[in-house]
A and B are shown apart, each in its own frame.
Chain A
Amino acid sequence: MVRPISMPKLGQSEEVATIVRWLRKEGDVVAKGDILFEIETDKALLEVESFFEGTLLKIVAAEGQTVPVQSTVGYIGDPGEPIPETPAPPQPRVEVPRTSGEVRHATPSVPVAEVPKARGARAAMPAREIRPGGKPLPILVAEEPSRFFRISPRAAGLAREAVIDPSPIIGTGPSGRIVARDVKAYLAARGYGRLRITPTAKKLAARETLDILSLEGKGDSGRITVADVQRAIAERPKPMSRMRQVIAERLTQSFASTPHFFVTVSVDMTDLEVFRSELKAQGALYSITDFILKAVALALREFPTVNSTTDGKNIRWHSKVHLGMAVSLEQGLVVPVIRDADEMTLAEIHDCATELTAKARAGKLTPAEMTGSTFTVSNMGMLDVENFTAIINPGEGAILAVSSAQKQPVVREDRVTIRSVMKMTLSSDHRLIDGALAARFVNAIKSKLEEITLWKRLA
C-alpha cells in the first residue's frame, strides 16, 4: 500500500522545514530506519528516517524546497502502485524587500504548463473591497506583485524591451492602467535616450530582471558594462537563510521587549590560567569556558532570581539550571543547552560542552538539545575582544558575555604588577533583576573564578 512520507514536526516553534538533500532517489528500495533525506529547520540540520519499508515511488518536495511540517514530501509503496493525486506542497512565501533596482512585474518562474489561464486566475482573485466613497482600497502590492499590477500588454512589452521596472510609472489609462504612452513618457523623462549600455550588459540585465535605469555605468562616458550589471546582481537583496531569519526575529523580539541593563566586572584569571596549565600537564584538558560554566552554575544556585523569567506580570522561577552556551557557526549562531548544569561536576560539564559544540559545528543538534535553557553564557574570549554586551535569549532573565583575558598592569598592594584580566558583562532583564542583585551575581562569579582553592577541590 502507498504511504505518504511527511515532513516531521521536530519542535514547538518549527512550522516549516527545508529539504536540503534527498539521500534516496525515486525507485530506490528503502528499509525501515533508512535515512531518506536531510532537512534544515530554524535550528539544525537533521536526517529523517523512513518509518516504512518499500520503494520510494515519488518525491514531491524537491531539494531546496521549504514546506510546512506534516505535509507530504513523497510516497513509499510497491512498484507500480498508483500514487494518489496530491497538490504540490504549499510554498511558504519568501518575502524579498523591494528595491527600485528590480523589475517587479516579472513572471514567476513556474513551468508554463502550471500557469493557470488568465481568466481563471482573475476569477480566483479576492474581490476588491469597496469603501463607502466608492474608491477601491489601496492594495499592498508587496505581497503578490504580479497580480495587482495594472499594465497593458503592449506597455509591459515596451518596459521589458527597455529593461526597466515599470512600477514607478503613473498610469493614465482606464483605472490608472499603465499604457504604452506612459512608458514612453517615463523613458523620455528619465533620460532613457541618453543611457548608454553595452549589448551584453543589457542582455544580462534583462535576464536578471534588473532595471537598467537604476544602474551606474562605469565604462567610457558612463556606459553601463557587464561589470556594472554584475555588481548590481551581487548587491541585490536575497532572502536570508531560515536560521538567520529566526535569529533576526528572536533577537529583535528580545531586545525590543526586554529592558536590558548591563554590569561589567574584571576578573583576574592569572591563577586559574596557571592551574589550568598544571591540569593540562597532568592530562586533564579543561577549557576556560568549562570553568566559567561551572562558576555560573554555582552562582545561579545562590541567586535564583537570576535563573528566572518574567512576562512583565508574572515571575517564573526555574528549579533547574539549564545553561545555554552560544556557539557561532559560519551560517549563524546556535545555543545548545547543558541540562542540569548545577548538578554536574567540572568534568561532566567539560564532556557535555565538548559534545554539544561538536554537534553544533556539524549541524547535528536536535531541537531538544537547543531548547529549555534558563541562562546563557556567550564567550567571545577566543576572538580577542576587550568587552561586549549580549542580548538576552528570549525566555531567560539574563545572559553573561565573556571577553578575552588580556595581560594588563594591575595595582596589587600598592604595586603595579602584570595580571591576566578578563571582562564579563551581565545583561539583565531590569524588570526582574535590580542593579544591586546583578552586581552581587557577577561578583559571585568573579570571586569563584579567582578562588583557586575552590577549583583545586572541584577539578
Chain B
Amino acid sequence: METFGVVIIGAGPGGYPAAIRAAQLGATVAIVEKEELGGTCLNWGCIPTKTLIASSDLYARLKAGGEMGLQVDGAAFDYAAMTARKEQVVGVLRNGIKQLLKANGVKILKGTAAFQTRNRIAVHPQASSGDPGSASTVIGAEKTIIATGATSSMPGFLPRHKRVLESRSFLELRALPSSVLILGGGVVGCEFACLLAQLGVRVTVVELLEDILWSLDADVRREVRRHMEKALGIRILTGRALENISADEGSVRGTVGEEQVKADVLLAALGRKPVTEELKLENAGLATNPQGFIEVDEYGRTRVATIYAIGDVTGGPQLAHAATSQGLVAAENTCSRTLRKNEKYIPNCIFTSPEIGTVGLSEQEARAPGREIKAGKFMLGALGKALAMGGTMGFVKWVADAETDQLLGAQVVGPHATELIAEATTAIRAELTATELAHTVHAHPTLAEAWMESAHLLVGTPIHSLPRKKK
C-alpha cells in the first residue's frame, strides 16, 4: 500500500491548490478526482458561464452600439460556436491544472474515494472512466483534506424530464431554447437569466422569497432588478411559488399564483448540496451535520485530528475563491506546526447585468444593535469614466464604523463591479479607515475613483457630490 503525507479528495478550485501548496511544503501528495480536474468551477460553473457571458455581453453591447456612434447592422450569434469556444477555454485551463499538478509531483488518481479507516482510503475507478474492470486501489494517508464540493440540488417535486435542467446539464445544450423558466432567483438563477436575456431568450424568474438576490442590501437589489426587468425584459415573479409543474414533448408549464407560465425548458437554480455520499465518512469516525455539511473549525480541521475539509462541502460561502483560500490554509496547516486561520473577508462576485461585488458586512448586517455605523454611497453616473464608457448605472457603497472610522463592508453594482471589489477587499482586510481610503490617490479617469469619492462622503468632504442640505 502506497502511503502519502497528504491525500486530497476532489480536484476543484479548493483541492488542486491545496495539493500544490502541500507539495511545495515538501509533502508527498496524491489527489483523487472522480470526474474532471478543476471541479465545478472550471468545468460546469464559473468559467463556462463567464465565457458565455463574455459573448452575450459583447453581443448586447454591439446591439447598443448606436449610442456609442457605431453602426452595427446584422449582428448575430452562433450559440454552437459560443459553446465550442467555452469548451476550448475549459480545455486549456484543465490542461494547465494537470501540468501544474504534475510539475509539483502530485500523484493524480482517477476514481471515487472512500474512507476505510481514518488513514486508509480506497479509490474506486469510475465505471465511466473507460476501464470498468479495474480493481480499486487502497492508499494510506497521514493527513487528508476533503474537498468534494457540492452539486446542484434537484428537489423531488420537479418532474424528471429532458426539459427540466439544472445549471450543469443546461450548459451542455448545443442550441438555445427560445424561452426559459428559471426556478430560483439566487446568484445562479440571476446570472443565467441575464446571460440568456442578452441573447434574446424570453426569461421568467420565479423566486419564493420577497426579492431576488435576497442576501444583498435592498438598494443593490433594486438597482439590479430594475435593469433586469426594464433593459433586459426579464419577467421576475417574487414572493410566490412555482406550482403544478409539468413537462411534455412541447414545453414545461407551471402556475405562479393564478397565472400560467410556460417555457421551452425549466432551469432549476435552487441551491447546491454537499457531496459526501460516497466518502464513507463513518469509517473515518466522521459524520455530517443535519444540513449535510462536514463541520470544521477556523483552521479547517474536522473532528478527526488528521482530516481537514474545505470549500462547499463545509458550508459557508459557496465560492471558488473561498475554497482556494481555505485549501491553502488547510494545506499549510497539515504541513506546519503554526496554524493559520481561514480568512474572514471573502469577496462575493455576481456576474449579472449589471455586475455586483460585495465584501465584508452589508449595511443591513452592520446596523447591529450597539454599533454606530456610517454608509456612503456614490453613484457611478457622476464619474467621468462611467459617462465616457456609456455605463451610467450603479453605485459603490462603503460601510464604516462611526466611532473608529474602520471600513467594515463594501458593495458595488455596475460595470466591472466584480473587478472593482478587489480594492475594497484589500482595504477592509488591512483594516484601513475611511479617511485613509479617501486620502489615497485614485487614477483619473477610472471607475475606481468611486471608492475614493464614497470614502470622502463618509469623512464628510465630498467634491463630486452636491452638498447635503443643511437641516
Contact = CB atoms under 8 A, between A and B. Distances in A.
Interface of A: 198-201, 203-204, 207, 225-226
Interface in B432-471: 432-433, 436
Task: Give the 10 A-B residue pairs with the shortest CB-CB distance, closest first.
Answer: A198-B431, A200-B406, A200-B431, A199-B433, A204-B404, A199-B432, A199-B436, A226-B431, A200-B433, A200-B404
A203 B432 contact: no
A208 to B, nearest CB: 10
B329 to A, nearest CB: 12
A226 B344 CA distance: 13
Nearest to A197: B431
Contacts of A198: 430-432
Given A199-B431, A200-B404, 19 more contacts: A198-B430, A198-B431, A198-B432, A199-B433, A199-B436, A200-B405, A200-B406, A200-B407, A200-B431, A200-B433, A201-B431, A203-B405, A203-B406, A203-B433, A207-B403, A207-B404, A226-B404, A226-B406, A226-B431
Interface in B397-433: 401, 403-407, 430-433
Contacts of A225: 431
A203 B433 CA distance: 9
A199 B436 CA distance: 8
Nearest to A201: B431
Nearest to B428: A200
Nearest to B437: A199
Interface centre among A200, A201, A204 (most CB of B within 10 A): A200
A276 B403 CA distance: 59
A251 B357 CA distance: 61
A226 B345 CA distance: 14
29 contacts: A198-B430, A198-B431, A198-B432, A199-B430, A199-B431, A199-B432, A199-B433, A199-B436, A200-B401, A200-B404, A200-B405, A200-B406, A200-B407, A200-B431, A200-B432, A200-B433, A201-B431, A203-B404, A203-B405, A203-B406, A203-B433, A204-B404, A204-B406, A207-B403, A207-B404, A225-B431, A226-B404, A226-B406, A226-B431
A207 B433 CA distance: 14
B223 to A, nearest CB: 29
A201 B431 CA distance: 7
Interface of B: 401, 403-407, 430-433, 436
B125 to A, nearest CB: 42
A207 B430 CA distance: 19
B345 to A, nearest CB: 12
Contacts of A199: 430-433, 436
B401 to A, nearest CB: 8
Chain A interface helix/strand/loop/mixed: helix
A204 B404 CA distance: 6
A358 B403 CA distance: 42
Contacts of A204: 404, 406
Nearest to B430: A198
A66 B403 CA distance: 28
B410 to A, nearest CB: 15
A201 B401 CA distance: 13
B402 to A, nearest CB: 13
Contacts of A226: 404, 406, 431
A225 B430 CA distance: 8
Contacts of B406: 200, 203-204, 226
A161 to B, nearest CB: 15
Nearest to A219: B431
Contacts of B433: 199-200, 203
B174 to A, nearest CB: 48
Contacts of B407: 200
A226 B404 CA distance: 10
A393 to B, nearest CB: 41
B186 to A, nearest CB: 32
Contacts of B431: 198-201, 225-226
A204 B403 CA distance: 9
Contacts of B430: 198-199
Contacts of B401: 200
A199 B406 CA distance: 8
A203 B430 CA distance: 13
A198 B406 CA distance: 10
A204 B430 CA distance: 14
Nearest to A226: B431
A204 B433 CA distance: 11
Interface centre among A199, A201, A207, A226 (most CB of B within 10 A): A199
B439 to A, nearest CB: 11
A200 B407 CA distance: 9
A226 B403 CA distance: 13
Interface centre among B405, B431, B432 (most CB of A within 10 A): B431
A144 B158 CA distance: 77
A232 to B, nearest CB: 14
Contacts of B432: 198-200
A129 B401 CA distance: 50
A442 to B, nearest CB: 51
Nearest to A224: B431
A226 to B, nearest CB: 5
A229 B115 CA distance: 44
A199 to B, nearest CB: 5
A203 B436 CA distance: 11
A308 to B, nearest CB: 54
A74 B44 CA distance: 75
Interface centre among B403, B430, B432, B436 (most CB of A within 10 A): B430
B229 to A, nearest CB: 40
Nearest to B344: A227
A153 B295 CA distance: 56
B336 to A, nearest CB: 15
Contacts of A201: 431
Contacts of B403: 207
Nearest to B403: A207
A94 B110 CA distance: 71
Nearest to A225: B431
